[in-house]
Structure formats: C-alpha cells, structure tokens
Chains A and B, each alone.
Chain A
Amino acid sequence: MNKMILKQFLDVRKRLKKKKSIIIVAPYFNEERLKDGYFKRVKAVDELFADYYKVYVTYETTKPYIQFEEHENDTTVVRYLPGSKKQKLLVALLMMAAKKIYCHSVWQVKTKFFKLPGVKVYVDVHGVVPEEETLYERYEAAQMYGDIEEVTVQKAECLICVTNKIREHLKEKYGDKFKARTIVMPIYDTSLSQYDIEVPKSKKLVKDKPVVIYAGGIMKWQKIELMQDSINKSKDAAEFMVYCPNPKEFWETWEYPKMKNLTVGSKSYKDLCKDVYSIAHYGYVLRDDITVNNVACPTKIADYFKYRVVPIVSSPKIGDFLELGMRYITLEDFNNGKLLSKKELEEIADNNEEVLKKYVERHNKGKEEFKQMFK
C-alpha cells in the first residue's frame, strides 16, 4: 500500500478511536446537491452529529485508490471502490474503529455491515427502496435491496424513519421478523424559517379568482400531465402559477392551447415564499395511491400548510399528513368546479396550521430521541 494512503488511513482510524465518532455511509453533500431532498436529509442529520468526528464513506470516486478528503466541521470523506477487496477491508477496519455506522437509506446498506464485530448499524429510512426500484422498473435491484431491507429490519440497531407510515409499512411487511428499534423523525428544515413571511388569514383573490400553484419537480410520479389536464379543465376558474427548476420541461408535455392566466417559471425558495406561497389559495400535490407515495414525506405539504395553501390531492394518502388530520380538496371536486368558499378556505387553512404544529412536534420529538440515542 502507498505510504501516503497508509498514513492517512492510520490517522483517520486513530481519530475515530480517540474521539466521539461515527461513520456515515452516504455521498457527501455540497451547496449544489442541497436542492435534492435526499441531501437535505443528509445535512440535517449531519447537524445532529455536530460534536462528533464524522467520516463519510462513499463509493463516489473517480480514482482507482482509496481517498481521504478532509472537510470542515471535523469531517473526513473516504472514497473507495466497492469492487476492491483491499479498499473494502480498510473501510471495514474504519467501521470497526468507530463502532457506529449511520447509513442513509437502505441504498447504502450492505449486509456485511451487520457482520462486523462490535459495530452498531443505524439506518435512516428515507423511503421504501425495493418499491421505488420496482416503480423505476429496476427489478434486479428491487430484489437485491429487498434482501438487504429484510436483514436491516432484523439486525439494525435503530431505524430512523421519515414518517410513521414507513415504520408501519415495514412492520406490516416483515411481521415477526421486524426487530429493530425505531424513531420517527420527519424532515423539517428549521433553517428555512428565516424566509417566513406573515400570511393574512384571508388571502385576496387575483382578478376575482383564487390562485392555484404548483412548485416542484417535473418527475413522472409528480403527475404533471394529470395536473396539466386539471389546469386546462379549470382554466376559467382560477389563476395558475407553476414554478419548476426547468420550465421548458413543463411545456414539453403541455398539449392544450396556451392560457393567459397560466404563469410558468422558476424561482428560488425565498422568492417562492414571498411572491407565490403568500398569495396562493390552492396548491397541487398529485400522487398515485401507491406505497411509495403513501409513506413519503414531501416537504412541499409543510410549506403549503405554513402559507395557508389548501392542497389539491388525487390521493390524500401522502405520508403522515392524513393521520395528523390534514384537510384538502380532491382533484375531482376541483376539476368539477366545486371550489371552496372563503370561509371553508379559512377553516381548512386553520386546521392545516394545527396539523403542521403536530408535524413539527413529531419532528422535535424524533430529534430528541435521536440525540438521546447518540448521547
């Protein structure tokens, strides 16, 4: 082995043994990556390990040898080739030195982690990986991650679930085999509160019409075509605003005549809060009634609640929100012009603000349990 690499390895191992430390199995985040929900979660968890020496282990590498990168906040990133036995051995030795591994979703777990002596494995369950792989038609991967998930629920020290629904789903799926301890810690980025704006109880109509918004990606599962159909059907009933990272993609699937009351663009989160959420009455959250969506934790809904936007849903079974008492308007009613009265809009927004409080409480409780566990 290269002397330089050996030196770096021994140094990281020494620090792992000496300090309060943890191995985090996940790709490391940066400013650009933080637009993605997965990395937002990685960062949020990173912040909870503020007083730890953190070693991120990732197979994101362009080099044939193991790399050790030093980052701020007492963090080292180790990049390795999972096909190399030697590099895997070095990573295993690091894990054994830290004694604790935190994996960001089943995607990062290897069944061999559970065989490392004295090592406790914690898994952050962001989503249902085998079901997601099936949805994306990667069936061999679905099978492989299904096997890993099965071992994980039996042998992990703790599963940190983003929704209670995920926990229930796994418990139902694995029955008696489910042995791991669980914590429910929903995604809630408290740092975003810096952009908070006072929202009036009753929002003004724009050109005598309510404002309907969509802010998010243009992925297949976000049912953009269904939303476009709804916009076209309700074109006389509302003012529409769509904000997505790439507006061109929105127009690619638009097959209706252009509408004057439809604005499509791109905005930062800060501007969305200021210019869009604060004036909107309704917001689309269209999802199929499938497991992947039923257990998900879309941060968009929390934003809607915060800004008193009533969700338009095709299926209300999205994460824990229904369980917490979410009220909404169905897509069918909206398309049929059965819009809510001013009073109903206010009532639903009030109700959903309470739901948000419960959601934040759940987040804080989860965070507390998390901190206790890693004290």
Chain B
Amino acid sequence: MIRKVKKFFEFIGALFYFLFYRIKNIGKKKNVAQVLNSFNSGGLEQVAANVYKSFLKNGNGSYVISISNTAGPICQQLESPKHFRMIYYNFSAMLKFCAKNNIGTLIYHFSTFKLPQFKMLGFKTYYVIHNTYLWYTEGEWQNLKIKMKFTNGIIAVSEWCKDYFIKKTGISKVKVILNGIDFQNLQSGNISTITRKSLGIKNDDIVVLTVGSYTDQKHQMAILGIAEQMIKKYKNMKFLCAGPILNRDLFKLFKRELKKSSANKNVIILEYVPQDQMGDFIHNVCDIYLQPSIHEAGVPLTVMEALIKKKPVIMTDFMLDKTFPVIDRIVGVRPPYEDLMSITPKKVIEMTKKKVDSSTNEYVRKLEDIVSNLDYYRDESNFNIDDYAFLSMERMAQEYIDYIII
C-alpha cells in the first residue's frame, strides 16, 4: 500500500516535471527515442541502434531507452552514454527522461511498455514488428491489437512478418522497412581477435558459419544433421556456430548432442563475436553462411553482412524472392513445415530439438551445390556491391526518416 502511494506521488511529480519541460521547450525541435526491453546484443537491438544512428545523422536528438536494466556491448555503438537510459520498468523515470531530453516520438521495438499512456500524453508512437511472434497467446494478440490503436504507425522488418502480423491481428496498415546495415562499418571495423588460427581451422578447410543466439527459432540443432551428412563427403568442412546463449537448456542439449555426433570434431562453438569485428571475422573465417532457422523476422543482419562480404548464403526461405531484388548469392530452402500459421511455440520447441527434419536433405543438396561453385563465389569479378545497395543503412535510414513524424 505504502509503495503504491509512493509510486502515485512519484508519478504526480513526474507529471509536473514533464509539464515544466514541455512548456520550457515550446518551439524547440523534438527528439526521438528507441524503446526496447533490453539493450544487450542481438539483431533487434542492432536494428534499433541503426535507427538511432540514422536519426542522429539526420540532425535529430536521438536516444535509446531500455525498459529493464539489461544492457550490453551494443551500448558501445551509441555516440554518448547520455543517449542511453535504463528505466527499470519505472513509468515516471521514463517520463522524466523523455521530458528532460525533449523526446516527442517513441519507436517501440517489440516492447509495448506503457505505449497507450505515452500516446495519451501527446507522444507520437510507432511500433516495429521484428518477428513472427509465434509464442503469443490469443490473449496477447488481443492485447497487442488494442495497443496498436495507440500508435501513429506500424513498421514490419519484412514481408514475412508483415504477412503473419496481418493474419493474426487483421491490421493491414503496416509499412515494410527492410533492415539495413552500415557498409562502411563492416568494411572498416576492427580486426577480429577470432581467427582461423585461433580456432584451429586450416586455411584449406571449408568453413560454414552460422551466427545467431541460442533460441528455439534459430534451430542450431539442424546444423548437426546437415554437418553429419556433409562431412561424409567433405572431411575438411567445419561448422562454426557463433552467438550468445539466451536459452541455456537448449545450448546444453546442443552440446550434449554434439558430443554424441559423428560431426563432433567438425563443429566449433563460439559465443559472442563483437559487432565491430564482425566484418573482418566473416571476411577471414567464413566460406559459406548458413541460417537454418525455423522462423525469422525476415532477413537476419548477419545474413546481410555475409552477403556484403561476398559470401554465399544458404538459409530457410522466408519469402526471399519478395524481399531480395537480387538473389544470385542466396539460396533458399523450404521451411520444415507447410503453413506458418499452424506453428505454435510448442511445435517450435519440438522442432528445435531435431537434428533432421524435412529440410535437411534439401539443405545438404544445395550446400553441396554451393561447395562445387565456391570458386565462382570467391571470384571478385562476379560480385558487384551496387547490386546490394538495398541492404544499406542509408536506404533504411531514409525510409524511417520519411515515415516517422517527429
């Protein structure tokens, strides 16, 4: 009870603080903030960081708000620590931060923390759909649907998740803005401390790289099924699995299965690869990029990074032809199910534990094709970076800037 009263007065205080700053800042250009549940590492966070940078470059005051106190290496990408705030699920703290920094637009990434309340306080709110939220219950979809009424706009990061979102909510006014990456950063990033040598990989080994956090959807277990078949033919093939461990049980299971697997010596586990080293890491370590996800938001950033680094990509086909104007270096494999709408989190949990499913043989066949054409992919004259301009952050930035009202 006392806590509630305290919180109420805290809110009243924050409200006056908010009004004071709003009056003080009348006539001044408003700023924009990205709102996330956490700001640690991962694709969603990277997109938010890229959007943050885009607005900053555009001359807007740009900030990132993390609802929880989870923060990580991605914070290093922000121009100043002043641009980042952890608010510990405290509405008043977020309101005060927004007031002090004259933030008028909030771009929510997956999180919907107090979205309607901020809208009612005069903020412009946008929601970014980053994934096919298979784990949402009907109740949660209803809840999201209501909250979406308090947005100025909804953005999906791919046709694939837009399609799913529309089917689930019936809301059709969704703008697709494909994620983009910073080509410059990728080319001029730091030298990777993780090298073929440090990983014990020989120069003539073929390295198949997967980058993704250990979560049900990423389906690292499929790599074992593919690897077991591939190494029968290619003894010098190494499968490198890099990514943070978000689901520890799944990771433990993966390690147990790896221990039993005939591909035990051909699969290498790596944890986090610093983002500023990613370009050099992919360039020097990877030959082929593999992403056998069960479902995805669309195109993972590392897939884009691999493409820009001239690597052939093989991944589960999430409307790749609709997403990519150029697909000569990206090979799609049918997902291990017929209809995404029939997939539930329970099914994903079952599927993620399987090494072999209906996609495995297609993966193996197409991977063999890529290996036989490796010289073609390695030949610089067969790659024109301009063909991939649609993956650039500049394109993404412009689309966000044009769409978001500040």
Residues of B within 8 A of A226 (CB): 191
Q: Which residues of B contact A255 (CB under 8 A)?
A: 197-198
Nearest CB in chain B: distance from A1 CB, A: 31
- CB of A130 within 8 A of CB of B82, answer yes
Looking at B71, B78, B191, the one whose CB has the most chain A CB atoms below 10 A away is: B71
Tally A-B pairs: CB < 8 A: 40
Q: How many residues of B contact A (CB 8 A)?
A: 17
B72 at the A interface (CB under 8 A): yes
Tell me if A133 and B197 are in contact (CB < 8 A).
no
- Contact A137/B80 with A143-B86, A225-B193 known, Cβ cut-off 8 Å: no
Interface residues as binary, A116-141 with B (CB distance below 8 Å gives 1, 0 otherwise) = 00000000000000110111010110
- In the complex the two chains form, what is the Cα distance from A184 to B198 in whole Å? 45
Interface members, chain B 69-112 (any A CB < 8 Å): 69, 71-73, 75-76, 78, 80-82, 84-86
Contact between A137 and B73, CB atoms less than 8 A apart? yes
CA distance A229 to B72 in the complex (A): 28
Q: Are B84 and A139 in contact (CB under 8 A)?
A: yes
Is there contact, CB below 8 Å, between B76 and A143? no
Give Cα A226–Cα B277 distance, bound, in whole angstroms: 14
Which among B81, B84, B198 has the greatest number of chain A C-beta atoms within 10 A? B81
**Given contacts A131-B81, A134-B76, is CB(A139)–CB(B193) below 8 Å?**
no
Interface membership of chain B positions 160-197, coded 1 if the CB is closer than 8 angstroms to chain A and 0 otherwise: 00000000000000000000000000000001010001
Q: What separation, in Å, do the CA atoms of A292 and B212 have in the docked complex?
A: 31
In the complex, the answer to whether A142 meets B72 with C-beta atoms within 8 Å is no
Taking the closest CB of chain B, its distance from the CB of A107, in whole angstroms, is 14
Chain A residues lying within 8 Å of B78, measured Cβ to Cβ, are: 134
A residues near B81, Cβ cutoff 8 Å: 130-131, 133-134, 142-143, 146
A267 within 8 A of B: no
A209 interface hit (Cβ, 8 Å): no
CB of A221 to closest CB in B, whole Å? 12
Q: How far is the CA of A173 from the CA of B198 in the complex (A)?
A: 41
Is there an interface contact between B72 and A143, defined as CB atoms closer than 8 Å? no
Given contacts A142-B81, A143-B86, contact A137 B72 (CB under 8 A): yes
Contact flag A143-B84 (CB < 8 Å), given A225-B193, A255-B197: yes
Contact A146 B76 (CB under 8 A): no
List the A side residues contacting B84 at CB < 8 Å. Answer: 139, 142-143
Contacts of B75 in A (CB 8 A): 134, 137, 139, 142
Closest chain-B Cβ to A79's Cβ sits at a distance in Å of 30
Nearest neighbor of B39 in chain A, beta-carbon distance: A139
In the assembly, what is the distance between CA of A130 and CA of B82, in Å?
8
Cβ–Cβ < 8 Å partners of A130 in chain B: 81-82
What residues of A have a CB within 8 angstroms of the CB of B191 in the complex?
A: 226, 229
Q: Are A139 and B86 in contact (CB under 8 A)?
A: yes
Chain A contact-residue range equals 10 to 19
**Distance, CA A133 to CA B71, complexed state (A):** 12
**Are A135 and B82 touching (Cβ within 8 A)?**
no
Closest to A143 in B: B86
| Known contacts A143-B85, A225-B193, A255-B197; A173 and B72 CB within 8 A of each other | no
- Complex: A291 Cα to B78 Cα, angstroms: 12
Interface of A is mostly: helix
Chain A residues, Cβ within 8 Å of B82: 130, 146, 150, 173
Distance between A328 CB and nearest chain B CB, rounded to angstroms: 21
| Residues of chain A within 8 A of B198, CB atoms compared | 255
Q: Which of A131-165 contact B (CB under 8 A)?
A: 131, 133-135, 137, 139-140, 142-143, 146, 150
> Which residue of chain B lies nearest to A140 when distances are taken between CB atoms in the complex?
B69
Contacts of B86 in A (CB 8 A): 139-140, 143
Bound: A211/B380 CA distance, A: 41
Could you tell me the distance between the alpha carbons of A225 and B280 in the complex, rounded to whole angstroms? 15
* Whole-angstrom distance between the Cβ of B210 and the nearest chain A Cβ: 25
A254: min CB distance to chain B, Å? 13
Q: Which residue of B lies closest to A133 (CB)?
A: B81
A225 CA / B277 CA spacing, docked (Å): 14
Complex interface bits, B53-83 against A, C-beta within 8 A gives 1, otherwise 0 = 0000000000000000101110110101110
- Chain B residues with Cβ under 8 A from A142's Cβ? 75, 81, 84
CA distance A133 to B81 in the complex (A): 9
State A143–B78 Cα separation when bound (angstroms).
Answer: 13
Partner of A131, one of B69, B80, B85: B80
CA distance A229 to B192 in the complex (A): 13
Query: What's the nearest-Cβ distance from chain A to residue B174, in Å?
Result: 33
Point out the residues of chain B lying under 8 angstroms from A229, CB to CB.
Answer: 191
- The chain B residue with its CB closest to the CB of A229 is B191
Query: Within the assembled complex, what's the spacing in Å between the Cα atoms of A227 and B84?
Result: 33
Question: With A and B bound together, what is the CA distance between A123 and B261 in angstroms?
Answer: 61
Is A173 a contact of B80 with CB atoms below 8 Å?
Answer: yes
Q: How many angstroms from the CA of A226 to the CA of B73 in the assembled complex?
A: 21
Residue on A nearest B83 in the bound complex, by CB:
A146
List residues of A whose CB falls within 8 A of some B CB.
Answer: 130-131, 133-135, 137, 139-140, 142-143, 146, 150, 173, 225-226, 229, 255, 291
Q: Can you list 23 residue pairs at the A/B interface with Cβ under 8 Å? A: A131-B80, A131-B81, A134-B75, A134-B76, A135-B76, A137-B72, A137-B73, A137-B76, A139-B71, A139-B72, A139-B84, A140-B71, A142-B84, A143-B84, A143-B85, A143-B86, A146-B82, A173-B80, A173-B82, A225-B193, A226-B191, A255-B198, A291-B80
Given contacts A142-B84, A173-B80, 16 further A-B contacts (CB under 8 A): A134-B75, A134-B76, A134-B81, A135-B76, A137-B75, A139-B71, A139-B86, A140-B86, A142-B75, A143-B81, A143-B86, A146-B81, A225-B193, A255-B197, A255-B198, A291-B80
Give the 4 A-B CB pairs with smallest separation, nearest first. A139-B71, A130-B81, A142-B81, A134-B81
